[in-house]
Amino acid sequence: MNFSFYEVFGMFLNSKIEKGIKMDTKMMTALKYFVHGLLFSAVYIGLGVSGLDFIFKIGMTAIVGFVLFGFINSLITSRLWKIPMKSDYWSFLVHGFILIWPLAVINLLFVLPLYPFLNNWLTIVVVFLVQCIPYGFVCKYIAERYEEDETIDVSKLPKYD
């Protein structure tokens, strides 16, 4: 049986609830923020290691990078937080463009003060793990702006044949 991370994480959380194990909602929210930031950071590092981070460094393909960022964050948000997300290219583009700036500021706030110590691998791992919570918070906060509008009745939209 193949399980995705989201299914395993969801089964873990649901089993804790079914067994009557009380998890503080603030603790659960903090854990979800951490997992959201961890997944987003892991994808970003994966792109860097694979050499695909050039998408974000070349001017013409920056649009593709923004769409990719928006798509990844929408996917993580819809699976982890159970928020239905808009799934059109324009939403992904704007979502990714808006998302990149606060994440860059968070990265600078963590890296600049610790720059002299970043030659130690332990410091790099600790910074990576600690900044996952603000990453997750920002990613969810921005993703909420692109939640699917459920008030639209599709049957009343004009049909173009």
Domain ranges for the chain, please list them: 25-147
> What is the Cα–Cα distance from 79 to 52, expressed in whole angstroms?
24
- Structure confidence at residue 7 (pLDDT): 55
Q: Which residues contact 107 (CB under 8 A, 6 or more apart)?
A: 131
Q: How confident is the model over 46-53, as a mean pLDDT? A: 70
> What is the Cα–Cα distance from 116 to 129, expressed in whole angstroms?
18
- pLDDT tens per residue across span 24-33: 788 888 899 9
Comparing 10 with 114, which gets the higher pLDDT? 114
- Structure confidence at residue 37 (pLDDT): 92
- Structure confidence at residue 127 (pLDDT): 87
> What is the Cα–Cα distance from 41 to 71, expressed in whole angstroms?
14
Q: For helices 132-143 and 89-114, what crossing angle results, to 10°?
A: 160
Could you tell me the pLDDT band of residue 111, with boundaries at 50, 70 and 90? confident
What is the residue type of 121? Answer: W
- Structure confidence at residue 41 (pLDDT): 87
Contact, 70 vs 94, CB < 8 A? yes
- pLDDT tens per residue across span 12-22: 554 444 454 55
Q: How confident is the model over 104-117, as a mean pLDDT? A: 87
- pLDDT tens per residue across span 52-102: 666 566 655 678 878 888 999 999 999 999 889 988 889 999 999 999 899
Structure tokens at 77: 């948000």
- Give the CA distances from residue 47 to residues 9, 29, 62, 114, in Å, rounded to whole numbers and listed in that order: 23, 27, 14, 24
